[in-house]
Amino acid sequence: MVTLIGLVRTLAVSSKPLDCLPYQNRKTVVFRNGWTLNLTFSQFRDLRDSYNSLKKYDLKQVDNDLFEADFRDFKITSKLQMICVVADFLERYQIKVENEVFRIKGPNFELEGTSSMLPVFRELLLGDYKASYKDKVVLDIGGFQGESAVYFWSSGAKKIIVYEPISEYCAFIKKNIDLNRINAEIHQSGIGNEDTIMVTEVFEPNWKVGSKPKKESIKITKIIDVINQSGADIAKIDCEGAETCLNAVPDEILRKIPCYMLELHGEDVRKSVTSKFVSAGFKVTKTKICGDGLSIVYFHTR
């Protein structure tokens, strides 16, 4: 389906815009700045939408899915979507890259992390988990590399309580907490129905296409205790499927936090968790369908 905005952007970037209407398979696309690239339509769309940020840089196609961008101060070889994210950030922030670690400096924050952290941070800046954080205590379950903690803090939160089970991600969280002098608690733990230890497969922070995961034993903390002990005003929960443990939390404990923002994995999970929160006295105030079965749903007490 062609949208008006998409059509206008296509006319602005392509030498032959009629060839770039939604198409199947791959196609050689010639851009107005001289790039000639063999792209899927989703790759073309990513590049089209970030064209103004990226057009001044050299871009080469390494293979079907890998591209090399020369950003002058540094080069990266990655998927096109990641290169577009970096280009968009360079329009607004200072970026340095050393040993595959990105350091972003904005007017009121600094952030360090790997390339996989960048699209997560961009989604935060574009409105995922948008709320009023001024003087609030935020429970951040699924802290990843600390990008959400930095976002909440720069948005006025007074304290962040972070749960993240992966040790190497926690190292980035600690670094970002220190960089921004955030009032925070960091718990190297996931959440679940019971206190336990489980073995899971995780990718290295600097994982690349073709990388294999490693096994890591991670601590799991009972979600009832996490909520009880937090004293939080807002809870953001993004925990790769563990959000289903919320269905077993007694209603009176769930209501101790008046606002939840949940990333839910799958339509069945979204329906069951929504039913649980509504029956506990919450109302749905926002739902964002993200694709691939993912959704972000906001719940507030009535």
Would you say residue 101 lies in a domain? no
Would you say residue 39 lies in a domain? yes
Q: Are residues 169 and 256 in the same domain?
A: yes
Q: Are residues 227 and 161 in the same domain?
A: yes
Q: Are residues 276 and 169 in the same domain?
A: yes
Q: What length is written for the chain?
A: 302
How many helices (H) does the chain have, and how many strands (E)?
10, 18
Determine the Cα–Cα distance for residues 30 and 20; give it in Å rounded to an integer. 10
CATH number at residue 197: 3.40.50.150
pTM of the full predicted structure? 0.90
Q: Are 281 and 302 in contact (CB under 8 A)?
A: yes
Per-residue pLDDT tens digits of the chain, which is 302 residues long: 567 888 888 999 998 888 888 899 999 999 999 999 999 999 999 999 999 999 999 999 999 999 999 999 999 999 999 999 999 999 999 999 998 899 999 999 999 999 889 999 999 998 999 999 999 999 999 999 999 999 999 999 999 999 999 999 999 999 999 999 999 999 999 999 999 999 887 766 655 555 677 788 999 999 999 999 999 999 999 998 889 999 999 999 999 999 999 999 999 999 999 999 999 999 999 999 988 889 999 999 97
Cα pseudo-dihedral 133, 300, 121, 216, rounded to 10: 110
Domain count, the chain: 2
DSSP state for residue 152 in the 8-state scheme: H
Cα pseudo-dihedral 295, 300, 301, 302, rounded to 10: -100
**DSSP SS3 for 78:** strand
Q: Are residues 271 and 150 in the same domain?
A: yes
What pLDDT does residue 208 have? Answer: 57
Would you say residue 238 lies in a domain? yes
Q: Are residues 168 and 274 in the same domain?
A: yes
**Phi then psi dihedrals of residue 51, to 5 deg:** -60, -45
Domain carrying residue 20: 4-91
Would you say residue 112 lies in a domain? no
Distance of CA 51 to the CA centre of its chain: 22
Would you say residue 226 lies in a domain? yes
What pLDDT does residue 203 have? Answer: 65
Q: Are 223 and 246 in contact (CB under 8 A)?
A: yes
